[in-house]
Amino acid sequence: MLDSAASSVLDLDMTEGILLQEAETDADAAEGEEVNVMGSLNTTAGHEDSKQSLRDQLRKTLNRKQSMQDLPSPRTKVKPVMDDIPYEPTQSFGEREYFVLTDAGKPVFVSRSGGEDSLASIIGIMQALVSVFIDDGDKLRCINTKTSRITFLIRSPLYYVCYSNWGEPESVTRSHLEYLHLQIISIVTASHLRKLFERRGNFDLRRLLDGAESFLTSILERLQGDIAMNTSSLFCLKLDPALRKRAADCLIPTNKMKDVLYVFLVANGRVVTLIRPRKHSIHPADIHILLNTIYNPSILHSPASTSCIPICLPKFNPSGFMNAYISFLRKPEGDPTLALVCLNGVGEFDTIKGWCESVSQKLDNEGISDAIISDLQSRKTEYSVAELGIPGLRHFVYKSRGQVQVTIPSFDDPYDSPTEKRRLLTLYQTLHDAIHAKSGQGGMLKLQYIKTEKESVLGWITQPFELYITLSPMLPKSAAVGAANSVVRWVKKEEGRLFLRDAPVF
């Protein structure tokens, strides 16, 4: 199935702007100048003349660096297929830091703790950096150092910034910032946000988001280790297909439920099944925003078993709200959760509530809820890579491109510690970035291979699937090819359990 000699590279136009990557030879000088910049901001923070002085100093610094050494082109060709990527894993996985500010320089959300004076200085520098490039008709994407990266995402009127020393590709932290933006839109809506800042450019958005900070914090926590979010896909619950179908049949709305848009059954944060209108699909990002909302502590640990909240799904309609009726069918303390979620437009609450109660009763009467909870408690919904019986195979990620879903075995030894799991996830992200040319590479690849002292990792993309496998470093490349084929055959045999297929529509 897998041709190890294949090496086709597709040339694609990159339209997301330029990548700012400073030459390493000037890193020390840049650090020294940054200290001076922070000092000048601390002494006169808040004054327009100091901001202008800061912009002028930044322009001089950038112009001098570009005259000393040409910046590398972001469109350089990636190495041929099955060549090793030079990879130096980072030894430090400190907490990533995230910042959201307005284009007027007002803080909106910060994931770190610190003094107000220190925060004002950092926010001021970020706002000045972005504005220098915007004034010149350019776009700042990221700043690289030897040990870390600062990534910028501009979604006017908001600026998003991430500091990370994990060693992941730039596209990874950029996707984190995009999710952070989508979560804010789910609370405010894009049209309302735009109108607020059109009326008053220095509007303090923190007042509007007061009490919603936990939604932003939880989405960032999920992003640190969620492969499905990083691959723009869905991680469904592994389940017997007959049981999944029985559950789905109970969720089909009646003809009277004309305002229902989507119905979900969710167990322990994974989708069991979903029902949708025939003419509508749903974007994976919207599902992740919805899951993050459902499992927010304020809702999950609420004394009430049901909630009805307004939510905007940005990929469906960034300018409007819909109602999310959330009913926890199983929410005893310490036990697995099972939730029924109904998204509707302007339907009456009592009608939706009555229908959801009848669905819940039907799931109970037919033993479906108990069967799902039993599988969760007995860990039948998980699987180990050892079940595949493939010599040398340690872990893998398989994405069905047609279903837009992933399946992942449990993280067992040697990847059962937080540090080793993060290191492996970063390897997968590096492969994914190289194959999809997400950080300004010259074109997409079919295969890519990374070898470290601890493992070898292979990425392979075809029309029906993507596969990322981790193997013992002692295995040759030819064995990696054979292992990849074996994983594909196993997933094909088990895909009825691993993926949500043929969900009913109405």
> For residues 355 and 341, is the Cβ–Cβ distance under 8 A?
no
Under DSSP, is residue 95 helix (H, G, I), strand (E, B) or coil?
coil
* 17: pLDDT strictly greater than 60: no
pLDDT digits (tens, 9 = 90+) for 317-353: 999 999 999 999 876 566 788 999 999 887 677 888 8
HSE-up of 107 (CA within 13 Å, CB side)? 19
Q: Nearest 5°: CA angle at 151, between 465 and 29? A: 135
pLDDT band (50, 70, 90) for residue 303: confident
The full set of domain ranges for the chain reads 24-71+97-223, 239-377, 385-498
Topology, domain 24-71+97-223:
Beta-Lactamase (3.30.450)
> For residues 409 and 395, is the Cβ–Cβ distance under 8 A?
yes
pLDDT band (50, 70, 90) for residue 64: low
pLDDT digits (tens, 9 = 90+) for 23-43: 333 333 333 333 233 333 333
Under DSSP, is residue 21 helix (H, G, I), strand (E, B) or coil?
coil
pLDDT digits (tens, 9 = 90+) for 170-201: 999 999 999 999 999 999 999 999 999 999 99
For residue 75, the model assigns a pLDDT of: 40
> For residues 162 and 176, is the Cβ–Cβ distance under 8 A?
yes
What CA–CA distance (Å, rounded) separates 218 from 295?
Answer: 9
Task: Name 497's Cβ contacts closer than 8 Å, sequence gap at least 6.
Answer: 238, 239, 240, 241
What CA–CA distance (Å, rounded) separates 447 from 434?
Answer: 9
Average pLDDT over residues 427-455: 91
- What token pair was written down for 214? 């936990």
How much of the chain exceeds pLDDT 70, in percent? Answer: 80
* 21: pLDDT strictly greater than 50: no
What CA–CA distance (Å, rounded) separates 57 from 63?
Answer: 10
Q: How far is CA 470 from CA 61, 204, 314, in A?
A: 43, 47, 35
Nearest to 438 by CA among 150, 223, 285, 232: 232
For residue 28, the model assigns a pLDDT of: 33
HSE-up of 67 (CA within 13 Å, CB side)? 6
What residue spans of 336-471 are helical by DSSP H? 349-365, 368-377, 418-436
Residue with tokens 């399946």, as numbered in its chain: 407
Phi, psi angles (nearest 5°) of residue 280: -125, 140
Tally of CB atoms within 10 A around 161? 25
What CA–CA distance (Å, rounded) separates 201 from 478?
Answer: 59
Amino acid at 401: R
Total residues found in the chain within this entry: 506
Task: Name 490's Cβ contacts closer than 8 Å, sequence gap at least 6.
Answer: 388, 390
Architecture of domain 239-377: 2-Layer Sandwich (3.30)
Same fold yes or no, 24-71+97-223 and 385-498: yes
HSE-up of 13 (CA within 13 Å, CB side)? 1
pLDDT digits (tens, 9 = 90+) for 66-110: 544 444 444 433 343 454 554 555 556 888 999 999 999 999 999
For residue 62, the model assigns a pLDDT of: 61
What CA–CA distance (Å, rounded) separates 376 from 265?
Answer: 14
> For residues 82 and 434, is the Cβ–Cβ distance under 8 A?
no
Cis peptide before 414 (omega within 30 of 0): yes
pLDDT band (50, 70, 90) for residue 121: confident
pLDDT digits (tens, 9 = 90+) for 134-171: 888 888 999 998 889 999 999 999 999 999 999 999 99
> For residues 392 and 483, is the Cβ–Cβ distance under 8 A?
yes
Bigger pLDDT: 45 vs 145: 145
CATH number of 385-498: 3.30.450.30
Average pLDDT over residues 114-122: 74
Name the CA radius of gyration of the chain, rounded: 24
pLDDT digits (tens, 9 = 90+) for 225-265: 999 999 999 999 999 999 999 999 999 988 777 788 999 99
Nearest to 458 by CA among 476, 484, 436: 484
> For residues 467 and 460, is the Cβ–Cβ distance under 8 A?
yes
Tally of CB atoms within 10 A around 363? 22
What CA–CA distance (Å, rounded) separates 491 from 18?
Answer: 39
Helix (H) or strand (E) holding 67: helix 48-68
What CA–CA distance (Å, rounded) separates 232 from 229?
Answer: 5
pLDDT band (50, 70, 90) for residue 118: confident
Average pLDDT value for the chain? 83
For residue 41, the model assigns a pLDDT of: 36
Q: How far is residue 271 CA from its own chain's centroid?
A: 17
Model pTM score: 0.83
What CA–CA distance (Å, rounded) separates 455 from 411?
Answer: 14
> For residues 450 and 456, is the Cβ–Cβ distance under 8 A?
yes
Helix count and strand count (H, E) for the chain: 14, 18
- What token pair was written down for 434? 């190289």
